[in-house]
Amino acid sequence: MSHKGQTGSNPVNMEVPLTLEMIEVAAKLTFGNVVLISLLCTVIDSMRRWFTVTRPVQRIADAAEKITEGDFSVHIQPVFSMGGQDGLNTIIHSFNRMAQELSGIETLRTDFISNVSHELKTPLAVIQNYGTMLQQPELPEELRQEYAKTVTDASRRLADLITNILKLNKLESQQIYPEKEVFDLGEQLCECLLAFEDIWEEKGMELDTDIAEDVAVRSRRPVCQPGQHRRGAGQRVSGTVRKAVVSAPEFQRRSKGKGLTAHH
């Protein structure tokens, strides 16, 4: 009886012996798991870098290439970032602003060339018309002097226009400041009408004007050089007279704005 009780009170220790083969299998399994996890992390990191760095940088490079070709309409979408606006999105935002500014400059350049061509056309037409009339041998001396003065005035206006073009750099660098101009509208219209007198005679037209005197007008927008409104009126008169037929054309210019009082 005592022998059985002593045997039941002692625990039984069962130890599994580790063989070299079992250690090799466990090592291979652990190494495989490490390689698999490393490969999975590498793929995930590569995808993250592709979507957050590589692809946006490539889009920036493609957009820069289009800008060098003259296409300023490019726009780059911001990169999705869980941390908010990062450095790459700041670069993209600055790039989009640059493209927008360049697009505006291109539009201004195109409009500038068109406007300058139109501005140069009026004084050149006056010089050409009166220069042709000065070649007439039977032209009276009084008219010859008058036509020569008209050519001189048109040449002076042309020189002023070219000077204004050269002053654009100073305007952009804020070395000169535009100011609102006060001018006599009736006087400017009379000068513009007389500049195209030869066209009336050529078409057999009789001009009947009703222009008020002492109509002082202040320009709505600032101008850099006095006389810009004269060129604008000359362009309108030139287009109206040249396109008019003999059947009594009518040229009117109305404004709903308030004029200047006497003390102004």
Q: What residue spans of the chain are helical by DSSP H?
A: 2-9, 20-49, 55-68, 87-134, 141-166, 168-172, 185-195, 197-203, 228-243
More confident site: 133 or 81: 133
User: 29-38, pLDDT tens digit by residue?
Assistant: 899 999 999 9
pLDDT reading at 208 higher than 60: yes
Least confident range from 57-66, 93-102, 107-116, 196-205: namely 196-205
More confident site: 186 or 60: 60
The predicted model gives 45-63 an average pLDDT of 87
Least confident range from 64-73, 172-181, 185-194: namely 172-181
Helix axes 141-166, 228-243, angle to 10 degrees: 120
More confident site: 125 or 221: 125
Rounded distance, CA 146 to CA 151, Å?
9
**What average pLDDT does the structure give for the chain?**
74
For the chain, percent of residues with pLDDT exceeding 90: 6
The predicted model gives 227-253 an average pLDDT of 55
Q: Rounded to 10 degrees, what is the CA torsion of 218, 221, 225, 226?
A: -20
pLDDT reading at 221 higher than 80: no
Q: Rounded to 10 degrees, what is the CA torsion of 24, 26, 27, 31?
A: 140
Domains of the chain, start order: 99-243 (1.10.287.130)
The predicted model gives 85-111 an average pLDDT of 83
More confident site: 131 or 15: 131
pLDDT reading at 4 higher than 50: no
Binning pLDDT at 50, 70 and 90, where does residue 176 land? low
Considering only CA atoms, which of 65, 87, 70 is closest in space to residue 78? 87
The predicted model gives 68-74 an average pLDDT of 86
Binning pLDDT at 50, 70 and 90, where does residue 218 land? low
- pTM as predicted: 0.42
pLDDT reading at 251 higher than 90: no
Q: Give the pLDDT score at 39.
A: 93
More confident site: 136 or 216: 136
Rounded distance, CA 218 to CA 179, Å?
10
Single-letter code of the amino acid located at 114:
S
The predicted model gives 227-252 an average pLDDT of 55
Q: Give the pLDDT score at 200.
A: 67
Contacts of 51 (CB under 8 A, 6+ apart): 80
Rounded distance, CA 239 to CA 242, Å?
5
pLDDT reading at 157 higher than 80: yes
* Assigned token pair, 213: 């005197």
